[in-house]
Amino acid sequence: MDPYAALRYKEFNIFLVVRFAMVFAWSMQFIVIEWQVYSMTKDPLSLGIIGLIEVIPAVGMALFAGHFVDQTEKRNLLVKCIMAFSVVSLGLFLISDPDLTISLATSTILYAVYAMVFLGGVVRAFIGPTVFSLIALLVPKKIYPNAATWSSSTWQVAGVLGPTLAGFSIGWIGVHWSMCIVFGFSLLALLFLLQIPRKPILNPKLGEPVLQSLKDGLRFVFKTKAVFGALTLDMIAVLFGGAVALLPIYAQDILNVGSEGFGILRAAPAVGAAITMLGSTRFQLHKNAGRKLLLAVFAFGICIIVFGLSELFWLSVGALFLSGAVDGVSMIIRQTILQLKTPDNMRGRVASVNSIFVGSSNELGAFESGLAAKLLGTVPAVVFGGCMTLLTVGLTGWISPSFRKLDLSKDVEESEATSG
């Protein structure tokens, strides 16, 4: 199979630039906020609260957002999402003005940051399902697995470079001007997105009542064992493997490496994932997908435990790098399962359920880690999370032999036959 199949479509290439700019801006913004908040409060729970505040609207609105996406033209909806994100990043840029931070109380700045993060969560509820649905309109069905890999790879590469630049730019130009870079990248995404023409709405049930539409989406996910199994496994692993949320504490108080070291630690998992994903365009992960997914999540748990116990900077970086590499495998398998098993008219709703399961567990994982660090201490909290991940894999493999034996070869052949 041609590893560059999806890149032969011009609109998909433009979409990758948009995806890169948005993920770069989003991941950089998150790092800058985390650093600013922990520097102001020195409280691990305040890091957890950032995650919780973003996740409440992202989950609360996700199903409605999925229904809305399935009923709406995708390109224009994504334009509106990126414009809303630009407003959030501009707000954070203004709030982080050094003159303002000196003249206002710390609690006032903190609440203003939390308010912006909440608005960002609302935008995120819509952006995930919109992107997922738009990919399917840019390439033919037989290329979905390849497009999913390139889209995920772009996501990871941007997720590497955003945090790395954030770590260094905080040291060089401070929090305030780092937020200005974020705003610039969101405008870049908007300019490129306007190069893609509007797309048709592939939903035979336009105007369907919201509740009926949501029920159909949930019923599909719970009925399709491959989709439900992949989402559940990933959700619990991410929920308990949220060590990344505690990186400002490791950087400032345990490894003592400053904002540059923080940037490297934050980027390490994404570097691992990006390398995995770029390599995976040449390997077929859909054969024995269930077993490969279980092994990847198990290895992720081991890496988190090693990171938690490490007091050496480069050992910590190595453990995070490997955690990202195996997480990249699980992400590709999950995306492939979703793209192959989901009918066109359900994509928005299924992507919303996916964002509730996996996207939200990132932030809930951050809250769990912050709370556990407050109660148990930072190192025990991370090790506990890794152990829970291993336990989850063991239980999933034992309870669901059909998931363990899941193989997507037939699905890939069928999708190639129908669109070939």
Q: What is the 3-state secondary structure (H, E, C) of 107-171?
A: HHHHHHHHHHHHHHHHHHHHHHHHHHHHHHHHCCHHHHHHHHHHHHHHHHHHHHHHHHHHHHHHH
Tell me, what's the pLDDT at 14?
93
Give the burial string for 285-311 (b: 16+ CB within 10 Å, else e): bbebbbebbbbbbbbbbbbbbbbbebe
Single out the residue of 300, 264, 206 nearest to residue 255, CA to CA: 264
Work out the widest C-alpha separation in the chain, in whole angstroms.
Answer: 65
Q: Is the pLDDT of residue 340 over 80?
A: no
Tell me if residue 204 falls in helix, strand or coil.
coil
Measured at the CA of 194, the angle between CA 193 and CA 195, to 5 degrees, comes to 85
CATH topology (fold) of 5-194+212-419: Growth Hormone; Chain: A; (1.20.1250)
Single out the residue of 29, 21, 50 nearest to residue 266, CA to CA: 29
244-259 pLDDT, tens digit each: 778 888 888 888 888 8
Read off the tokens for 235. Answer: 């959700």
187-230 pLDDT, tens digit each: 999 999 999 888 777 655 555 666 776 677 788 888 877 778 77
- Mean pLDDT computed over 60-86: 85
Q: Is the pLDDT of residue 156 over 80?
A: no
Q: Is the pLDDT of residue 378 over 90?
A: no
106-131 pLDDT, tens digit each: 889 999 999 999 999 899 888 888 88
Q: If you average pLDDT over every residue of the chain, what do you get?
A: 83
8 Å CB contact between 258 and 251: yes
281-320 pLDDT, tens digit each: 666 666 777 788 889 889 999 999 999 998 899 999 999 9
Give the predicted TM-score (pTM) of the model: 0.75
- Mean pLDDT computed over 8-21: 92
Tell me if residue 393 falls in helix, strand or coil.
helix
Residue 288, phi-psi category: left (phi > 0), alpha (psi -120 to 50), beta (remainder)? left
